[in-house]
Amino acid sequence: MYKLLPKSTPDHYSDFPISQKTSLAAVPAESLCEAVFAGDSFSGLEAAFGRVDGVSKTAAGYCGGTLRKPTYREVCEGRTGHTEAVKVTYDKRIISYKSLCDIFWETHDPTNKIYLEFGVGTHHRSAIFYSNEEERKQAQESKIRRQMKLNKRIVTKIIPFDSELFFMAENHHQKYHLQAKFRLCDSLGLRSTEQFVESNLACKLNGILGVEEKLIVDKLTKFLKTHQELTKQTKSACEEIILELLKDEDDEYFENPRVIEGKQNKSAPA
């Protein structure tokens, strides 16, 4: 049976020993590449890739259809041929296309038969969009490696990508988890769709906020320690989120200490 790995897995991938603490502006243009993936809802997929070391920015959008500049409603109606997808901009010095494909399988269940009903019963699909023959080959090889580990057939499609047919989703679909934290989002000064897409900081914070709540405190604390360039407002908003989550955990403990202790015992190393 297919088993989805923990959400925290993708941020451990990195191919080359180069720090990801540099800003997007510091990355040479020739080192930046793009990849497009579709795997169920784009909110979860965007957050998963945002956590990956070497990914500079992400964009939620619509891909694979015929109508130009479709709306979310039109895509959901299933008549345009589009699927929710995420465009990933990455630094090839840090992570490879091959590794991104391998990470892709961890973000959703690629054996879910509902994707076979794409265009009929759902607008969601599992797909890797390739831009050239080398990417097609690497995507196919990654799919074969993954299939060998499963006892259910992968239904993911590997499809040619036309950059002119990727359309950005509406503003409120960009960095979904980050936008749910109003004070933090406001501290970044991001307003337009383009600003949310181009922000490396928004990409990383959205990735952190997309993990399970019990993991956010640790990841956000580490993020604050390694990003001294953050404004006072942003640091304060992050600290507020951490304190709120810690308070919720304390409240849960006092309400049902045995449940919390049971969780801690399960997570403790043998």
The structural domains of the chain, with segments of one domain joined by +, span 9-179
Closest CA to 181 of 238, 251, 235, 221: 238
Identity of the amino acid at 256: N
Burial of 186 from C-beta contacts in 10 A (0-12 / 13-18 / 19+) = middle
Q: What pLDDT, on the 0 to 100 scale, is given for residue 255?
A: 58
Q: What pLDDT, on the 0 to 100 scale, is given for residue 21?
A: 38
8 Å CB contact between 197 and 88? no
DSSP E strands: which ranges in 69-110? 83-91
pTM of the full structure: 0.83
* Structure token digits, residue 100: 């991104």
CA distance 165 to 67: 9
Buried b (16+ CB within 10 A) or exposed e, 73-106: ebbeebebbbbbbbbbbbbebbbbbbbbbbbbbb
For the chain, first and last CA: distance in Å?
Answer: 26
pLDDT along the chain (270 residues), means of 10: 44 42 66 95 96 97 91 90 95 97 96 86 90 97 97 95 92 96 94 94 97 93 94 96 86 55 53
8 Å CB contact between 132 and 97? no
Q: Which fold has domain 9-179?
A: Peptide Methionine Sulfoxide Reductase; Chain A (3.30.1060)
* 114 SS3 class: helix
Which DSSP symbol is given to 118?
A: B
Q: Which sign does the torsion angle of CA 66, 69, 73, 75 carry?
A: positive
Q: What pLDDT, on the 0 to 100 scale, is given for residue 16?
A: 40
